[in-house]
Chain A
């Protein structure tokens, strides 16, 4: 495998990990937003 192809393989692997992290962070973000909808006072903390 040449250097360029190897780099693409490595970067794809890194992107795969980043996708998992983003999914996790996004789910947390959604959950927090849902809780804030249920508890309007929590919104005041953001102000």
Chain B
């Protein structure tokens, strides 16, 4: 019996299980690590206990000497201690230690909150089950004991989630459409001033500067592609608010959208929110690709825009939609 005990002790000390399968050895290693390393909860408790002890001594010093120690300023010099450099140094050092330790504890809690904001896994399992390095763990897992956060950090994570929800609700689809509409107009190649990598404006390019012309064409194409993506994003937002039936038109503060009779294509009239009299027309759809290429980005004068009778884009309607 004694021999068996010594044998097991040997295995435990060296993280080996003689005669066992590899998974069991792995499991033994995990258990051994969990036993040898204190949990985060224990460490945090220990850190807070040390802070409390240090605070107690600082209070004693204050009571005895009659001056107040600034807990936020480790570099503060106390005239009362001008003949006691050791005490001055010890106070500075301990205040610095307390500040650093409190920051480290807070930082760890905050990183957990950030984790909660970004990870779907964390939302599913809760912060106490997820660690960036160890992944999803459960209370039965030895690794869980190594890093498990405190209840306090869990409550931070919950607050973080609430905040995220509120923020995402703040931007209504109408506001998002307005932002996208403004960006759509900003990227109109006709409104932009393009420069080559050498700083030459497009209108000052020489005929033989093929390199410069190529650069500007690439930049314009990039803007066109982004505008095309924006028009699709606007359509997606509008459809999220209310699906458009074939042949119908929906009017928002900055955008009017008409769906074709066959339901395959959409035509968007996008108003520049910062320049209410400027409109652009964009086409989205399989059959109108050629038209889209030709028409997208075309600036439409207000009277021309008004000719799109089906859009009913008179100011009163726009105003009522805005309200």
Interface residues of A (CB under 8 A from B): 1-2, 4-5, 7-9, 11-12, 14-16, 18-19, 21-26, 28-30, 32-33, 46
A26 & B101 in contact (Cβ 8 Å cutoff): no
A15 & B97 in contact (Cβ 8 Å cutoff): yes
A29 & B93 in contact (Cβ 8 Å cutoff): no
Distance A24 CA – B83 CA, assembled complex (angstroms) = 16
User: How many A-B contacts at CB < 8 Å in the complex?
Assistant: 95
How many B residues touch A, CB cutoff 8 Å? 39
Contact flag A22-B90 (CB < 8 Å), given A15-B98, A29-B65: yes
B47 & A8 in contact (Cβ 8 Å cutoff): yes
Task: Pick from A14, A33, A46 the residue with the most CB of B within 10 Å.
Answer: A14
Nearest opposing residue in chain A for B132, CB measure: A2
Distance A33 CA – B65 CA, assembled complex (angstroms) = 9
Nearest opposing residue in chain A for B108, CB measure: A4
Q: B94: CB under 8 A from chain A?
A: yes
A12 & B57 in contact (Cβ 8 Å cutoff): no
Distance A11 CA – B94 CA, assembled complex (angstroms) = 11
19 A/B residue pairs, CB under 8 Å, sorted by A: A1-B146, A2-B131, A8-B40, A8-B104, A12-B50, A15-B47, A19-B50, A19-B53, A19-B94, A21-B89, A21-B93, A22-B57, A22-B90, A22-B93, A23-B57, A24-B90, A25-B87, A29-B84, A30-B64
Distance A35 CA – B112 CA, assembled complex (angstroms) = 53
Distance A8 CA – B108 CA, assembled complex (angstroms) = 9
A-B interface, 9 closest residue pairs, ranked by CB to CB distance from nearest: A25-B90, A4-B108, A22-B90, A25-B87, A15-B97, A25-B86, A18-B94, A11-B101, A12-B47
Q: B216: CB under 8 A from chain A?
A: no
A22 & B147 in contact (Cβ 8 Å cutoff): no
Contact flag A11-B90 (CB < 8 Å), given A29-B84, A30-B64: no
A15 & B104 in contact (Cβ 8 Å cutoff): no
Mark contacts of B91-135 with chain A using CB atoms, 8 A cut-off: 1 yes-contact digit, 0 otherwise: 101100110110011011001000000000000000000011100
Contact flag A8-B105 (CB < 8 Å), given A1-B37, A25-B90: yes
Distance A33 CA – B57 CA, assembled complex (angstroms) = 17
Q: B54: CB under 8 A from chain A?
A: yes
A15 & B87 in contact (Cβ 8 Å cutoff): no
Nearest opposing residue in chain A for B53, CB measure: A19
Mark contacts of B264-303 with chain A using CB atoms, 8 A cut-off: 1 yes-contact digit, 0 otherwise: 0000000000000000000000000000000000000000
Q: With A19-B54, A21-B94 given, can you name 8 additional A-B contacts, CB distance below 8 Å?
A: A5-B108, A7-B104, A14-B97, A15-B54, A15-B97, A21-B93, A22-B94, A25-B84
State the Cβ distance, B104 to closest chain A Cβ, in Å. 5
Q: What residues on B are CB-neighbors of A24 within 8 Å? A: 86, 90
A8 & B93 in contact (Cβ 8 Å cutoff): no
